[in-house]
Amino acid sequence: MKQKVLIFVLLVAVALAAGCSSKFEKLLESHNYGEKYRTALKLYEEGKYTKAAQLFENVAMNAQGTPQEDTVRFYWGMSNYHLKDFATAQSNFGEFIQIFPQSPFAKEAEFYMIDCLYRSTYRYELDQKPTMVALSYINKYIIENPGTDYAKFCKVMKDDLEERLDKKAFEGAKLYYHMENYLSAHYALKNVLKEDADNQYREDILYYTAMAGYKYALNSVPEKQRERYMTFIDDYFNFVSEFPQSKYKAELDGIYKRVNKIIKKEN
């Protein structure tokens, strides 16, 4: 008996779903744009973003030139955003801010376009061109909208993306060190700070610069060692003067003492 009841309930549910689907399809095909618009907003408020997006897209062409046009296009973008279709949402918002720069939704649309760009960036190991594009929009938004809640969110995005770029630069240079190509590592690490003195990995970069200089000298022919150890000493003093409490200091102090003894013996 229970099994029959369950089957009956399932059949009713399927029938209702089919009826609702049929009703929605008829609405999509109809010319009742007012009903489509009202239903799209209702579906959006209910969190039914797939159907809302379909209706907003369907209505968009007919909404051209009407007072509802910016609302339709904005919520079309928001529906796609909630569906995590960030590429489509970015396109929606990009078009929106070009067509409706004075709309009450304009600043919000600009922020969500930036958020879509941010969400479409890659891990630091991968191509960072999307990161650079996102940062250009983020910086512009922060300058033009200081003190707003959206600007605060943009600053969080900015910090994350800049950290990602800093890490990519550092890890790329450090790769030479792990390959035991110490001369190239020394040059590449110094170049990272030459191009960006405020790199968030500055302490690590200076440490690996000193270590690369030391290991390059250590593996050099005897007649070249003294000169190259002097380079390490310069790197060592640069490091300890800037990071006297560093976790790396004890290790570098020990190496410095050994190098000092070697140089004094040669004198």
**What is the helix (H) or strand (E) element at residue 193, kind and residue range?**
helix 182-195
Q: Write the DSSP assignment of 141-177 as a string of letters.
A: HHHHSTTSHHHHHHHHHHHHHHHHHHHHHHHHHHHHH
Packed helices 149-178 and 202-218: angle between N→C axes, nearest 10 degrees: 10
What pLDDT is stored for residue 265 in this prediction?
A: 78
Q: How many CB atoms lie within 10 A of CB 128?
A: 19
Q: How far apart are CA 118 and CA 250, in angstroms?
A: 40
What pLDDT is stored for residue 21 in this prediction?
A: 62
Q: How far apart are CA 89 and CA 79, in angstroms?
A: 8
What pLDDT is stored for residue 22 in this prediction?
A: 82
What pLDDT is stored for residue 17 in this prediction?
A: 46
The rounded average pLDDT for each run of 10 residues, N- to C-terminus, in the chain (267 residues) is 48 46 86 92 97 95 93 98 98 97 97 98 96 98 95 97 98 98 98 97 98 96 94 97 97 96 80
Q: How far apart are CA 81 and CA 90, in angstroms?
A: 8
What pLDDT is stored for residue 12 in this prediction?
A: 42
Tell which residue, 178, 206, 169, has the closest CA to residue 190. 206
What pLDDT is stored for residue 3 in this prediction?
A: 55
What pLDDT is stored for residue 31 in this prediction?
A: 83
